[in-house]
Amino acid sequence: MQNSRFSPFVSSKNSISKVMLDVIIALLSLCAFAFYTYRIWFLIVLGSALGGAILTEILFSGIFLKKWKGILDGSAIITVLLLVFTTSPLTPWYVAAFGGSCAVLFGKILWGGVGKNKFNPALVGREFMTVFFPLVMSSGDIWSTKRIRYVYEVEWFNFIPNAHWAEFLNELFFVPTGALGEYSAVCLLLGGIYLIFRRRISWHIPVFLLVSFLSFLWIFEDQNLNYSLGGILLGAIFMATDMPSSPSSPTGKSYYGLMIGLVAGLCIQFGAGFEYMSYSILILNGFSTKINQVFMPRTWGTKIDWPKKTEEVFLLTLSILTVTFAVLSLHYYGYIPYLIYVYIIYIIFKFNFSFSKKLHQPI
Amino acid sequence: MMHIPSLKYKTKKQPIAELKEASVYRIPLQSYRSTLLPLVKIGDQILQYQVLAEDVEHQFAAKIHSPVSGKVIAIDEHYISLENDFQQQKITTEIIEFQQLDLERFVQVLKDFGIAGIGGAEFPTNIKYKVEGSEIKSLLINGIECEPYLTSDYAVMRHETEKLLKTIAVLNQIFQPEEIVIGIEKQHKELKKHFEKSFKNYPNLAIRIHLLTNEYPQGGELQFIKSVTHKEIPKGSIPANFGYLVSNVGTILAIYEALFNGIPTTERVITISGNAVNSIGNYRVKIGTPIRHILEELNIDAEDVDIVLGGPMMGKEVADLDSPIKKGSGGLLLFKKQQKSIENCIECGYCVDVCPQHLMPMQFVKGHQEDQNLLSQFNLDHCIECGACEYICPSNLPLMQSIVLGKVELQKMRYAK
């Protein structure tokens, strides 16, 4: 008798490509707004980042690792789109290409391919850009985009008699400042609703993230706190929900969202500047595996050991806060580049001695 | 839990059709977690309904009886092969006075007539019903056939309603539960009216129909109990200790045959369906009927298809066409072969969302692959092997393989300690 297969014998028509396609669809309207505002400038940044990413995929995934299949699954496109959405339309093409390339290489390929990354690849790419092109990335000039703007404001709701309401609605749909993905709060929300409706993300992370971040701002009512609604929404809906780097259980996701909001608030409060969203998400990415363990769903028919659980959550929160303040100190003294250098050495060693041997394993 | 689309809407309209007898039957010796010991020898002449094999040592598998009269032609470790003489010479069985039946006698009847849980696991019903000491609050009749494609339980409820209710009345007299609940999926809600018409003839029964969602695995015993009674009982515990007695409708029908006709479990209703077969429907077949015989009778071409015995979620692939229908086989399904390519896990968490036991199934793939500590850390023991995780997985991860083999590894680890 031949070896029989394992059940089940039917399967849903889900696939990785379908998941990726839905995320791309959710991001399309943001592309439209970025193009609407900066036209050729947006295309240059997007094109060079995409070029860098695809070249890296072909070179490393394809020629070097002989894994051609994964190149077209759409994950690189999402990484590049998200990366571009956090950058300025004035980002030089070579910096964008470098970012796209590093996002794919250090964010995904060296971890062993799609799904195995512990950190959000787009944010990894962004940190590489900041560290290796500090002058370009942290100069104020890069954000003075007024002169290249094609559209300054929209007047879609001016028919409303109440001027305040009209302005509010106009700005809800369109604000031309900030990074390329932040121009339309409404489209960000619609993209999120689409993904929730299609079950590609669950509501837990965005909702808890926004609630905790906004409560933080409300409690520490400080006029000098500088944040953008678009940036927060982009982070909450598209960055923090990156599947491989976020926890899997509903309670884990809720805690994860809460903590990102809190850490992002702390980052703003203690002067992390534009990096508050990247830092908070990347820090929590690092705790994702631990959160999965601590916030494992309650198994059917079993009881939760509350004292033990409380202690675990307390210690976990403590370590997250410790890491946050460590990162903020490094940021204050300008030592973040060394963190990235350590990351590079770590991931290369890890790939060489471990991940490269598990390329064929699906998990 | 989730809904799984299938062809139930087609096969549920079909009546229970009969199938011509086969000339050779292969009686399965493996049942539940035990192997039966043959009580006959090669060359023996046997009568219809005669006991063929029994789990003498452990009593942990139901006895099996001959579906026909004829001769034993072969015995191996898996099957007793019978040649049918088409004479239908029956063994004489005593008439059961079910009016005076007490629990002890009833359990003996269940044992003698080889009654086993027909929903799939073939757990011996006499063991399940041996409830001395525990008071039965609810008698739960499981009509939730959550496995996609299968409608054999539906057909039984639709066409054998009177027999089911007569049996339930006997159970009521023996166990005296506070209430009796028949669980049915919402997609079959027409059965509710159908049952309620017949309830009028049983004014003494505190019986009701409970409609439940069309989700998989709603019919799993633990899930079914929770949906009806809101009581969550842990895997591995005995429902009767909590006051619940759960039986599948097919099992109730088997009890009817034993009590009222003196016939042991030698046949059952199965659904023939799938996307690679045209003659789909519900059929009454004898236990031990070789699959080859069924395919030939129905003119089904089984070239290049996947054949599954049982449901598509928890059934077994048929590698040998001479293997037979068992007591727990609810269906014979034929599917077009499909290629599944395994991709990397993207930790989408869909498996976590659908797991009825609230586990994190992807951890078992990792556990089986490299770190066995994960298997116990993430409670693999609590998995009911329903297959929902692998069904939903966009990367086609070998979840069930990891789970089944992982459980073996877990046993080994414990044994080593």
Q: How confident is the model at residue A1 (pLDDT cuts 50, 70, 90)?
A: very low
Q: What is the pLDDT of residues B355-383, one digit of tens each?
A: 999 999 999 999 998 889 999 999 999 99
Picking from A9, A15, A246, the nearest residue to B312 by CB comes out as A9
Running DSSP on this structure, what letter comes out for residue B18? E
Query: Does pLDDT of A70 surpass 80?
Result: no
Query: Does pLDDT of A151 surpass 90?
Result: no
Q: To the nearest whole angstrom, how far is the Cα of B110 from the nearest Cα of chain A?
A: 30
Q: Is B234 on the interface with A (CB under 8 A)?
A: yes
Q: Is B378 on the interface with A (CB under 8 A)?
A: yes
CB-based burial, B2-19: b 16+ in 10 Å, e otherwise: bebebbbeebbebebeeb
Q: Is B218 on the interface with A (CB under 8 A)?
A: no
Picking from B315, B353, B396, the nearest residue to A11 by CB comes out as B396
Q: Is A300 on the interface with B (CB under 8 A)?
A: yes
Q: Is B379 on the interface with A (CB under 8 A)?
A: yes
ipTM of the complex as predicted: 0.93
Residue A225 has a pLDDT of 64
B348: annotated binding-site residue? yes
B345: annotated binding-site residue? yes
Q: To the nearest whole angstrom, how far is the Cα of A214 from the nearest Cα of chain B?
A: 27
- Residue appearing with tokens 């493996």: B30
Q: How confident is the model at residue A224 (pLDDT cuts 50, 70, 90)?
A: low
pLDDT < 50 stretches in chain B: none
Question: What's the whole-number mean pLDDT along residues A322-332?
Answer: 97
Residue B343 has a pLDDT of 92
What is the spatial distance between Cα B1 and Cα A307, in angstroms, rounded to a whole number? Answer: 30
In the three-class reduction of DSSP (H, G, I as helix; E, B as strand; rest coil), residue A316 is classed as helix
Q: Which residues contact B107 (CB under 8 A, 6 or more apart)?
A: B126, B129, B130
CB A112 within 8 A of CB B366: no
Output the CA–CA distances (angstroms, integers) from residue A44 to A35, A51, A332, B139, in the order listed.
11, 10, 33, 70
Picking from A16, A292, A296, the nearest residue to B343 by CB comes out as A16
Q: How many CB pairs under 8 A join A and B?
A: 159
| Nearest chain A alpha carbon to B394 | A15
- Residue appearing with tokens 């959405």: A85
Q: Which residues contact A193 (CB under 8 A, 6 or more apart)?
A: none
Q: What is the pLDDT of residues B156-196, one digit of tens each?
A: 999 999 999 999 999 999 999 999 999 999 999 999 999 99
What is the spatial distance between Cα A96 and Cα A252, in angstroms, rounded to a whole number? Answer: 34
- A196 is written with which tokens? 């929730």
C-alpha triplet B234, B127, B223: angle, nearest 5°: 30
Q: DSSP string of A230-299?
A: HHHHHIIIIITT-TTTS--SHHHHHHHHHHHHHHHHHHHHTT-GGGHHHHHHHHHHHTHHHHHHHTPPPP
Query: Do the Cβ atoms of A11 and B379 come within 8 Å?
Result: no
Q: To the nearest whole angstrom, how far is the Cα of B395 from the nearest Cα of chain A?
A: 6
- A212 is written with which tokens? 């905790």
Running DSSP on this structure, what letter comes out for residue A62? I
Question: What's the whole-number mean pLDDT along residues A53-66?
Answer: 91
CB-based burial, B156-190: b 16+ in 10 Å, e otherwise: bbbebbebbbbbbbbbbbbbebeebbbbbbeebee
Residue A2 has a pLDDT of 40
Query: Do the Cβ atoms of A302 and B378 come within 8 Å?
Result: no
Neighbours of B35 (CB within 10 A): 16
In the three-class reduction of DSSP (H, G, I as helix; E, B as strand; rest coil), residue B242 is classed as helix
Q: What is the pLDDT of residues B295-344, one digit of tens each?
A: 999 999 888 899 999 999 999 999 899 999 999 999 999 999 888 889 99
Query: Does pLDDT of A103 surpass 80?
Result: yes
Residue B93 has a pLDDT of 77
B146: annotated binding-site residue? no
CB A168 within 8 A of CB A153: no
| Superfamily designation of domain B1-13+95-338 | NADH-ubiquinone oxidoreductase 51kDa subunit (3.40.50.11540)
| Nearest chain A alpha carbon to B335 | A9
**290-329 in chain B: CB under 8 A from chain A:** 306, 308, 312-320
Q: Is A357 on the interface with B (CB under 8 A)?
A: no
- B94 is written with which tokens? 């005593």
Neighbours of A94 (CB within 10 A): 12
- Choice between B264 and A145, residue whose per-residue pLDDT is larger: B264
What is the spatial distance between Cα B93 and Cα B109, in angstroms, rounded to a whole number? Answer: 11
Picking from B233, B333, B363, the nearest residue to A301 by CB comes out as B233
The domain locations on chain B are 1-13+95-338, 350-416
- B37 is written with which tokens? 């010991």
Residue A221 has a pLDDT of 75
Query: Does pLDDT of A3 surpass 60?
Result: no
Any idea of the CA torsion for A261, A263, A269, A271, to the nearest 10 degrees? -120
Q: What percent of chain B has pLDDT over 90?
A: 84
